[in-house]
Amino acid sequence: MNRNQTRHRGRTVFLCAAFCLCLTGLTGRLGYLMIGRAEELSRMAEELHQRERSIKAARGRILDRNGEVLAGNRAVCTVSVVHNQIEDPQEVIRALAGMLDLPEETVQKKVETYSAREILKTNVEKETGDAIRRLNLAGVKVDEDYRRYYPYGSLASRVLGFTGGDNQGIIGLEVRYEEYLKGTDGTILTLTDAAGVEIENAAEGRIEPMPGRDLVTSLDRNIQMYAEQAAYRALEEKKAGNVSVIVMDPRNGEILAMVNAPEFDLNDPFTLLPGLETGTGNRQDQLNRMWRNPCINDTYEPGSTFKIITAAAGLEEGAVTLEDSFFCPGYRIVEDRKIRCHKTGGHGSETFLQGMMNSCNPVLIDVGQRLGVEAYYRYFTQFGLLEKTGIDLPGEAVTIMHRKENMKAVELATVSFGQSFQITPLQLITTVSSLINGGTRVTPHLALRAQETDGSAARAFDYPQGERILSEEKSAALRFILEQVVAQGSGKQAQVAGYRIGGKTATSEKLPRSRKKYISSFVGFAPADDPQVIALITIDEPEGVYYGGTIAAPVIGNLFEMILPYLGIAADGDQNG
């Protein structure tokens, strides 16, 4: 055998060995794929030929305390196209452009897009979606969907809030309780061939959606309506900038109504209210202003309603009694400042009780001076005024108060009758509730429980309550004082025949003082000896007469005339005055 033959045979053996080795490797790899990764590869192949569409979950409803639906859902459709499944593009374009009120160019662009699915339009009325479905156009999908619907339009708009295009909450309770309301979407799975065309008669997979939980709130639709009617009446009669009303159960902090007039339409939340289009800022700024809830997001100088807090601190500290004597010449000089009473001629000699009935600034200045900064500031903390109330709505503002080290005699004097600092309406009514309910701090709240659609409870919400901030004895004395304010004092126009009403008026001048703009307010509760309901109204920049006792107190009186019998609070036959 010559050298060439030997070399040729060696090469042949090498190639055969290499081929056997490769074949062995490929066989091993094939075995591994067929046995070891069979399940995974099968799943991947299935996914490659599957088309997935979501089934929107119904959002949980928002209910009032009596089960009335305040926020529900309306059935709508989502219309989409799948390019590879369309048989007659021109027919699809003509039909959908007309039925969905879309330009043909828009529909054509979607139809010609190579993708698993192109959404043409969401929130399509169910009648239109059903009509498209009946056309049985290949490549056109009509899926069920839901759109948020508010049956009472603008009722409690800034409290309930609304949802965006993705059906997620944006403001109010809708965003605060998103995790309970949103639900879990389902899916529809269809099989397609390599070209993306659905396989005829192939089984369709379906994972059903899980609806969100219903949210039961403390709101009472009827009381909310009564309060809104009263607010709009005041808004129109006084040509005010806005009017806010809060109605609460002072015993537990449950909010029965919260009004910010004018309210906006929850079914059309992106249309600005009249007058806002001419405001400053871009459109988003204007929308944000419209969506703000002044009851909790904005602060103001409370004026004489804050005298309730000064009186409570003075009584609890022993700095004053109801019979203590004072003299009002129409002003009080504190350091280098002459601070006037609303009655420029003065009230003359009066007891502390009479001073509260007359809403006399010098009397409350004297009580504040008797307390001193240290003690007064301690009561701010004790009463919870320096912290947020903890309400279950987003964006709550905090009290703007002097720092203790910066609070001198003049600041103490002005704070004593409700000026030179700012507070939210919610903080004021919460603090007054806590002072007149026997002296226990309450947490204002709206959500009572989240429950399944069949009514079975999923979760009841608890709120901090019960911390004592005022003795029962002094709470009773405060209720008596405020009853006399309505019976014979500055709050007479809040009287309701047959009921004992307590309350306090206020007229506060807005900053800058040179504008001569005011906020008129009144906080009242009933029955005066056993408070079961409390209400606060603020009228911002009323025209003409602006005194709280004249324009704010009657609104609450009229509101109580409607809601006290509705709440089953019996008249006792004793009329104030």
Task: Please write the tens of the pLDDT for every residue from 350-374.
Answer: 999 999 999 999 999 999 999 999 9
Tokens 């009758």, located at residue? 417
80 noted as active-site residue:
no
Please report the pLDDT score of residue 7 as a whole number.
Answer: 64
Give me the count of residues in the chain: 577
Residues with pLDDT less than 70, the chain:
1-8, 10, 13, 25, 28-53, 190-205, 277-280, 573-577
3-state DSSP: the chain helix, strand, coil percent, rounded to 5? 40, 25, 35
Q: Are 51 and 80 in contact (CB under 8 A)?
A: no
Q: What is the pLDDT of residue 165?
A: 79
List the catalytic residue out of 157, 244, 304, 433: 304
Give the bridge partners for 261, in sequence order: 243
What SS3 state is found at 483? helix
Residue 192 is predicted with a pLDDT of 58
Full set of structural domains in the chain with CATH: 51-192+201-217 (3.90.1310.10), 221-263+297-446+460-566 (3.40.710.10)
- Tell me the C-alpha distance between 256 and 259, whole Å: 10
pLDDT recorded at residue 55: 77
Rg (CA), the chain: 35
Structure tokens at 199: 């396989």
Please tell me the predicted confidence (pLDDT) of residue 372: 97
Phi and psi torsions of 47, nearest 5°: -65, -35
So what's the pLDDT on residue 577?
39
Give the pLDDT score at 47. Answer: 45
Distance CA 194, CA 199 (A): 10
Closest by Cα among 81, 50, 77 to 143: 77
The pLDDT of residue 575 = 42
- Per-residue model confidence (pLDDT) at position 84: 84
Amino acid, res. 470: L
pLDDT in tens, 512-521: 888 999 999 9
